[in-house]
């Protein structure tokens, strides 16, 4: 099996202070500089950004100010030898996006969302990445009758076209999620994201980002979602994590709940040569609320360790023996072979 070295990243929001809808933070929040220093100290290669992680209070700033601050950040990242993996417009916080961003029923708000996305593309360019990630957080409905599904798809395509026209090089990686914060999202799976690409003015530049937990929430197998996206050459980024059943989005450490599923994900990443074209392995994980400040990076470091251990497991898996069992249709023995391999035999 061909081998290569993986590169890892996370976002500043992954060092989160522990608040949930029922209680306040459990750790003192830290400034961006501290988070960047932690990322470097723990040997990660890149950082993911929301537009307002890169330029705080972005809505109150002029384009001139936004570009100057992005350039300043780029200098700091270069100084630290840290790459920017992607930039994503945070389109779910502003008062203008209460009813959705590109699919809002208010044309002024749709315009806000598109203009803000264009600024995000400008920031991405300055930070040296050609990947714009779109988690379409509020593009869906709380109640079915509030929006037209057909019209919403047209509006999303219109927005994607405006972004593709704004910059000839930008690639859009759609991060699908079936629900939360919405009851139903309009782009719930990788199949939806890749189908949408074909309605745009430049399908080649619209791909996807898979998050393990989002696939699980959609009732799908993350490894199959990875294979599907790779069959199209469209897996441009990845949020590995774990999820214990159909609950709220948990962002647990990678492999925390289902080690075998994590193994399967790593195995298909290996098979598809993920990372060989410059893609990063990102962990969209959060610390448990109980985590003490002195253990604040553990969920990220542990996710990477688990990933690397599973790469060893994928590379040392006896594929020949597995193929013989497949040929004999002895899936019972194959099942136990995987279990024994993971248990260390």
If one asks whether residue 96 binds Mg ion (CB under 5 A), the answer comes out as no
* Helix extents (H) in the chain: 32-41, 51-54, 63-80, 107-127, 149-166, 190-197, 212-217, 222-231, 259-271, 298-316, 319-327, 331-343
- Which residue, 153 or 209, is less far from Mg ion as judged by CB? 209
Active-site residue flag, 53 = yes
The 10 Å Cβ neighbour count of residue 243 is 23
Q: CA-to-CA distance for 137 and 176, rounded, in angstroms? A: 9
DSSP state of 252: B
Select from ligand GLO, Mg ion, none the partner in contact with residue 227, using the beta carbon and a kind-dependent cut-off of 5 to 8 Å: none
Q: How far is the CB of 148 from ligand GLO (least distance, A)?
A: 25
Q: For Mg ion, which residue of 139, 211, 242, 264 counts as binding (CB under 5 A)?
A: 211
Tell me how far, at minimum, the Cβ of 50 lies from ligand GLO, in Å.
Answer: 6
Judged by CB under 6 A, does residue 284 bind ligand GLO? Answer: yes
Q: What is the DSSP secondary-structure string of 254-311? A: TTSS-HHHHHHHHHHHHHTTTTTTS--EEE-----TT--GGGTTHHHHHHHHHHHHHH
110: partner contacted, choices Mg ion, ligand GLO, none (Cβ within 5-8 A by kind) = none
How many residues in the chain? 345
- 53 touching ligand GLO, by CB under 6 A: no
Nearest approach, Cβ of 175 to Mg ion (angstroms)? 6
Among residue numbers 262 through 291, which ones bind Mg ion (CB under 5 A)? 284
53 binds, among Mg ion, ligand GLO, none (CB under 5 to 8 A by kind): none
Stretch that binds Mg ion, among 2-10, 136-144, 231-239, 273-281 (CB under 5 A): 231-239
Q: Which of positions 204-233 make contact with ligand GLO (CB under 6 A)?
A: 211
- The single residue among 101, 124, 133, 300 that binds ligand GLO, judged by CB under 6 A, is 133
User: At a CB cut-off of 8 Å and minimum separation 6, what does 65 contact?
Assistant: 55
What is the distance in angstroms between the CA of the first residue and the CA of the last residue of the chain?
A: 20
Question: In this chain, which of 44, 112, 135, 296 binds ligand GLO, going by CB under 6 A?
Answer: 135
Q: What is the CA radius of gyration of the chain?
A: 20
Could you say whether residue 236 binds ligand GLO (CB under 6 A)? no
CB of 336 to Mg ion, least distance (A): 34
> Between residues 211 and 270, which has the closer beta carbon with respect to Mg ion?
211
Q: Which residue has the tokens 């990242």?
A: 77
Which of 52, 53, 69, 175 is the binder for ligand GLO (CB under 6 A)? 175
- Among candidate residues 4, 20, 29, 50, the one labeled active-site is 50
Interface with Mg ion (CB under 5 A), residue from 239, 252, 267, 286: 239
Judged by CB, which is closer to ligand GLO: 25, or 181?
Answer: 181
Query: In whole angstroms, what is the distance from residue 226 CA to residue 269 CA?
Result: 7
Helix 190-197, helix 222-231: angle, nearest 10: 20
Per rule CB under 6 A, is residue 299 in the interface with ligand GLO? no
Nearest residue to 197 (alpha-carbon basis) of 216, 171, 222, 221: 171
Q: Which of 52, 53, 122, 284 is catalytic?
A: 53
Query: Would you say the C-alpha torsion 282, 16, 71, 77 has a positive or negative sign?
Result: negative
50 is annotated as an active-site residue: yes
Q: Which of 110, 177, 192, 313: binder of ligand GLO (CB under 6 A)? A: 177
User: What is the phi/psi pair of residue 315, to 5°?
Assistant: -75, -25
* Distance of closest approach, residue 87 Cβ to ligand GLO, in angstroms: 9
Catalytic residues: 50, 53
* Sites of contact with ligand GLO (CB under 6 A): 88, 133, 135, 175, 177, 211, 239, 249, 284
């Amino acid at each position: 099996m061909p081998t290569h070295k993986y590169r890892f990243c996370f976002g500043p929001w992954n060092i989160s202070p522990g608040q949930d809808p029922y209680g306040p933070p459990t750790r003192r929040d830290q400034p961006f500089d501290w988070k960047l220093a932690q990322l470097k100290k723990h040997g990660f290669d890149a950082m993911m950004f929301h537009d307002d992680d890169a330029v705080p209070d972005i809505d109150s700033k002029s384009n001139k100010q936004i570009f100057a601050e992005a350039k300043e950040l780029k200098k700091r990242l270069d100084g630290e030898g840290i790459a920017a993996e992607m930039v994503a417009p945070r389109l779910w916080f502003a008062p203008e996006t209460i009813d959705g961003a590109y699919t809002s029923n208010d044309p002024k708000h749709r315009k806000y969302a598109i203009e803000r996305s264009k600024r995000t593309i400008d920031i991405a360019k300055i930070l040296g990445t050609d990947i714009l990630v779109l988690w379409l957080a509020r593009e869906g409905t709380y109640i079915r009758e509030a929006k037209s599904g057909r019209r919403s798809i047209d509006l999303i395509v219109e927005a994607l076209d405006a972004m593709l026209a704004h910059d000839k090089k930008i690639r859009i990686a759609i991060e699908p999620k079936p629900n939360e914060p919405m009851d139903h999202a309009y782009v719930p799976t990788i199949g939806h994201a890749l189908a949408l690409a074909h309605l745009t003015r430049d399908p080649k530049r619209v791909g996807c980002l898979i998050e393990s937990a989002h696939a699980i929430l959609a009732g799908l197998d993350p490894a199959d979602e990875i294979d599907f996206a790779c069959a199209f050459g469209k897996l441009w980024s990845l949020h590995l994590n774990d999820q214990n059943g159909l609950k709220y989005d948990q962002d647990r450490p990678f492999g925390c709940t289902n080690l075998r599923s994590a193994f399967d994900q790593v195995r298909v990443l290996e098979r598809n040569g993920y990372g060989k074209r410059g893609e990063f392995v990102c962990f969209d994980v959060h610390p448990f609320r109980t985590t003490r400040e002195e253990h604040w990076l553990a969920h990220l470091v542990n996710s990477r360790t688990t990933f690397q251990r599973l790469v060893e497991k994928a590379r040392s898996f006896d594929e020949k023996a597995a193929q013989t069992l497949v040929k004999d249709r002895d899936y019972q023995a194959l099942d136990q072979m995987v279990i024994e391999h993971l248990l260390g035999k």
